[in-house]
Amino acid sequence: MLQTSISERALSRGLLDVLIRAGLIATLVIFCFEIFHPFFDLVVWALILAVTIYPLQVRMRGRLGLSEGHIATLIILLSIAIILVPAYLLGVAVFESVERAIDVVKDGNLRIPQPPDTVAGWPLVGQQLHAFWQQAATDLSGLLMKVAPQLKGVSVTLLGKLAGLGTGLLVFVFALIIAGIIMAYGEMGTRSAQRIASRIVGPDRGERIVELCTATIRAVAQGVVGIAFIQMMLIGVAFIVKDIPGAGLLALAVLLLGIMQLPATLVTVPVIVYVFATDGTSVATIVFAVYVFVAGLADNVLKPLLLGRGVDVPMPVVLIGALGGMISGGIIGLFIGPVMLAVGYRMFWLWVDEPAPIVEAVEQKPAEALSPAPPRVS
């Protein structure tokens, strides 16, 4: 009885020690998360950029013969210049265009041509569009007063979006700098990632999981940038052929919107409206409008074709992960979503294909061991 009481007290003490340790560890994890949380997006972006750009560093290291740190610094400086210089030119062009438009409206020099009679015959929206266009051509100031409340709300929303783009660009630049530091220790980082993955999922699977995550991030990044570049080329050629003012900057805006996973119609629709307002309705303007509008939606067709190439999971898994991640987590979710879904997919099938240990043990036993033992004779 005394021995049982001592065992119960020892068990209770051991359980209390385990609970105290678990509570302390949970408290430490919560504190660490709260401290790290403000920098989560920045660090995740840096890891994504480092994984995506690192193959370029490996190729340059073989050709230039420089150290890891020098090559990483060179790549990051070039990347920042490639991003900031066009962004600055685009911002200056947009500011000058807005300022010029405000001056034209104030001076009363804006002249909108009369709408063609054929516009009224367009199905569904023809009558309303013709009336709106007619009022804009005859009484622009009255029309502006009429739509002023709606314009105010749109202006506030647009300014908020522009401020968000500026903040995102700043975060992106800082993420590039941190990515350069990570790339300078690329091989060490790869070994560390493999050690962590091996500790979580086992030594025989850790390296495969790290390779899967790396390939998924690079496939999504290259797919996003490649799709944005193709869209820029398709739309930019039409802008140049049609002699749209600032065609190069508008094409660059399409590229930036594609990288940020925003629709290219934010650029193409205003340009289509501008072309109809200045050139009127003709076969050329209709063909231009249809082509540019369809090209602005081309990413919906290209994503299933380009995303997921080179990844050891089915393309629909990567595509669903990218779309779902973007809906739930924004641009960062575009990369985290397919990585998590691809890892979950591979872990599930590794678990399915892994034979049960008990079944293996039974199958390996000889037939004699499985037969019942003979009765003992006393």
Q: Which two tokens stand for residue 348?
A: 């599930």
d(CA 52, CA 328): 22
d(CA 122, CA 49): 48
Q: What is the mean pLDDT of residues 280-296?
A: 85
Whole-prediction pTM value? 0.64
d(CA 202, CA 219): 25
165 vs 65, more confident: 65
d(CA 16, CA 369): 44
Residue showing tokens 């089915």 = 314
Residues 6+ apart with CB under 8 A from 165: 260
Could you tell me which of 204, 205, 214, 206 has the C-alpha nearest to residue 339? Answer: 214
d(CA 285, CA 7): 90
The predicted-structure confidence for 330-368, as pLDDT tens digits, reads as follows: 767 777 888 888 888 888 887 787 765 554 444 455 544
With a cut of 60, say whether residue 375 has pLDDT above it: no
Residue ranges of alpha helices (H) inside 37-185 are 40-64, 68-107, 126-138, 140-146, 148-184
pLDDT at residue 162, as a whole number: 63
The type of residue at 31 is F
pLDDT at residue 355, as a whole number: 67
pLDDT at residue 18, as a whole number: 85
d(CA 302, CA 307): 8
pLDDT at residue 56, as a whole number: 86
Proportion of the chain above pLDDT 70, given as a percent: 75
Q: What is the mean pLDDT of residues 164-172?
A: 73
pLDDT at residue 378, as a whole number: 43
Residues 6+ apart with CB under 8 A from 309: 219, 222, 223, 315
C-alpha triplet 263, 298, 155: angle, nearest 5° = 15
The predicted-structure confidence for 106-157, as pLDDT tens digits, reads as follows: 666 666 777 777 777 777 677 777 777 777 777 666 666 776 666 666 667 7
pLDDT at residue 229, as a whole number: 82
Residue showing tokens 């094409």 = 251
With a cut of 70, say whether residue 246 has pLDDT above it: yes
Q: If you average pLDDT over every residue of the chain, what do you get?
A: 77
